Structure 1
Amino acid sequence: MDALTRILGGMMDLTPPVDPLGEALHFLRMSGMFYCRSELTEPWGIELPAMKGSVMFHVIVTGQCWLATEGAEDQLLQPGTFALVPHGEGHRLTHERGGATRRLEELPEELMSERYSVLRHGGGGAPTTLICGAVWLDHPAARHLVSMLPRLIRVDPSDSPRTDWLQSTLRFMAAEAKELRPGGETVITRLADVLVVQALREWIAQDSSARTGWLGALQDPEVGRALALIHREPTQPWTVASLASRVAMSRSAFSARFTKLVGEPPMHYLARWRMYVAHDSLKDERPGLGELAARMGYQSEAAFSRAFKRFMGVSPGAVRKSGPVSPLSRA
């Protein structure tokens, strides 16, 4: 039995990660969310402020509107459209293209709970109903992924047969937002999580720019497997040779291909990813710096602290003292 266990264990160890890109999307878990049901009548226009560190979205329930953001073409959003502003940039929503706007903070909102409000605005004409939200992604790897996205992503019902999910999810979200029942905030937060990830999946499937850089590397058969190994087991004593062996490539060919696709050498990427993991641990677990340094493969706390600050821009002590970030404090 022991021999069989060893054989099976070896077979399992050799099984390659199935979906490196899917595993990377796992890091898009949300640390917080604020959402608003907007009941608008023509003429109307809203200027939304930038929300640093957030991913903002709009769901069109009824009516239509124009979305304008710097560096992207104005977009006409209609019922069933899901629009994502990944970088938290300020933008404008109007009933007509180029219409006048008022700043969001000037408009009356009815706060229904700590994370949910209802906004009513306009001149009494044709109605439009939106669900707007801002979500915060606290994991550094998530911010790394989001930094590669375009300024605007939109998914329409007609984009592909796969967007049936969009309509059913949007209807569910609209129903929950219309009459907030017990547990409704949790449901809407989970639905927003699904919508954001699904919108990114649709963009990755359709946009050629998603097949370059880090996202493209995740979809490469060999480099993607190596990245997934690093993501799954960042504390392992990986070397270029051991990673190359696991993906059945020579050391030199693997190193060259990894560097070309990812944009940095394997060991540099591994070190940076370990700092991402350490950042997350400091926020959630609050381990001692010596313990964390040893876990990340550093011989001393000082060496770990220098590496952490080089990659993350702040000291590990500062991250640990700050504790979990309150999403609402970032708006």
Structure 2
Amino acid sequence: MDPLGDLLDGVRARTAAFCRSVLDPPWSLRICDEAPLGLATPVRGHAWIVPDEGEPTLIETGDVAIVQGPAPYTVADAVATTPTVFVHPGNRLITADGEDITAATRLGPGTSTLGLGSGSATVIASGSYQVSSFVSGRLLATLPPVVHVPRDQVPSPIMDLLYAEMDRDEPGQQVVLDRLLDLALIAALRGWFARPAADPPGWYRAHGDPCVGHALRAIHEEPSRQWTVAGLAAATGVSRAAFARRFTTLVGQPPMTYLTHWRLDLAAASLRDTEATVSSIARQVGYANAFALTVAFKRVRGTTPQRFRAGLAA
């Protein structure tokens, strides 16, 4: 798997978190769903994404916005519009007076469409994502709080498929929507990283390099292999010195530093998500034993694997 694929592996759309909102101006939704990541796209009309900190972002019809949580933010027809509806986990809609209007606004049984306006109103499609792995945090750290991707920079038919699926009411629709939301996130991120003014992370830029890209894929496919700079250079068909120099220039880290951080990200994810022993995790990510993993983990993360896991449990 390539680096972007690995980093996205722990990001998944949440079942029942997809929503299509039909809204008459003036409208303003306060998003309090605590989702680590959200996606919104106007099917008709426009919307402003207004974070509590940072500049507002205007998204037009067909644009995509990716918003990092879990802090609340506002989606509105205008920056100054005061929120009247608060969106809580599970797409529960609560008014400013505390009234739950979820059932009253749902357009039809079993649908994910919430009606707060007429047939000519703004229509916003949105979804939220779980981030279940520390590995994915490396990707989120490279993104601004709000990623805005214009429609013409999402070179994929996925958004059209998503819009078409919203108009259906067929068995299995929620599963289809979840999968399309996952693909929409990938397509939007590709478009954002590929834009002319983009400054993507080094591992993304290096993916297309015939030498360094091959080495990155090798590291991600076999993180437990006892890689050396010489071994990676041999796998890519260049000299050791040339490989080390090119890898460091493109990725921003020497090969062994990148490998170490990647292994420790994988170890952190396993410490959180599994009950495997430290010795077992050490072997899975390329360390000879628990002691070797502990030394590297403490040097980079400032704590031991055991204390790291205990802190998560607490």
TM superposition score normalised by structure 1:
0.74
The answer (yes or no) to whether the contact 1:46–1:102 under 8 Å persists in 2 is: yes
What residue number does 1:291 align with? 280
> Where do residues 1-331 of structure 1 align in structure 2 (5 Å cutoff)?
20=2, 23-24=5-6, 27=9, 29-30=11-12, 32=14, 34-49=17-32, 51=34, 54-69=36-51, 70-72=53-55, 74-78=57-61, 80-86=62-68, 88=70, 90-102=72-84, 104=86, 106-107=94-95, 108-110=100-102, 119-121=114-116, 127-159=121-153, 162-172=155-165, 174-175=166-167, 179=169, 182-311=171-300, 315-317=304-306, 318-319=308-309
Retained in 1: the 8 A contact 2:20–2:114? yes
Shift of 1:51: 3.6
Does structure 2 retain, via aligned residues, the 8 Å contact 1:68–1:74?
Answer: yes
Per the alignment, do residues 251 and 139 of structure 1 end up closer, same or farther by CA in structure 2, a change over 3 Å counting? same
Q: 1:92 to 1:22 in 2, by over 3 A?
A: closer
* Count, aligned residues: 295
Distance 1:96-1:81 versus aligned 2 partners, 3 A rule: same
Q: Whole-Å Cα distance in 1 between the matches of residues 310 and 40 of structure 2? A: 34
The 1-side partners of 2:86 and 2:143 are apart by 25
More moved, 99-108 vs 222-231: 99-108
Deviation per CA, 1:14-63: give whole Å up to 9, x if none: xxxxx9466456535427453333232222112324846x1211132333
Structure 1 Cα separation of the partners of residues 37 and 215 of structure 2:
29
**Separation in 1, partners of 2:75, 2:137:** 25
Note if contact 1:41-1:127 (Cα within 8 Å) is conserved in structure 2.
yes
- Separation (CA, whole Å) in 1 of partners of 2:135 and 2:289: 25
Give the distance between the partners of 1:291 and 1:263, measured in 2 at CA.
Answer: 30
RMSD (CA atoms):
3.4
Deviation of the 1:120 alpha carbon: 5.0
Structure 1 residue runs without a partner (length 5+): 1-18, 324-331
Using the TM superposition, give the Cα deviation of residue 195 of structure 1 relative to its aligned residue in structure 2, in angstroms. 0.4
The answer to which of 227-236 and 182-191 deviates more is 182-191
Deviation for aligned residue 1:227: 1.1
Instruction: Rate the CA distance shift 1:68–1:118 in 2: closer, same or farther, 3 A.
Output: same
C-alpha separation in 1, matches of 2:193 and 2:240? 30
**1: CA distance, partners of 2:148 / 2:126:** 14
- Write 1 or 2 for the structure with the bigger share of helix: 1
Shift, 1:238, TM fit: 0.3
3-state SS of paired residue (1:30)? strand
Q: Distance in 2 between matches of 1:261 and 1:322?
A: 34
Question: Match of 1:209, SS?
Answer: coil
1:256 CA drift (Å): 2.3
Structure-2 change in CA distance of 1:275 and 1:304 (3 Å): same
Is this contact kept in 2: 1:157–1:163, CA < 8 A? no
CA contact (8 A) 1:44 1:95 kept: yes
The residue matched to 1:298 in structure 2 has which SS? coil
Q: TM-score, normalised by structure 2?
A: 0.78
Q: 1-side partners of 2:268 and 2:161: how far apart? A: 37
Identity of aligned residues (%): 29
Letter in 1 for 2:265: Y
CA distance in 2 between counterparts of 1:309 and 1:36 reads 43
SS at match of 1:93: strand
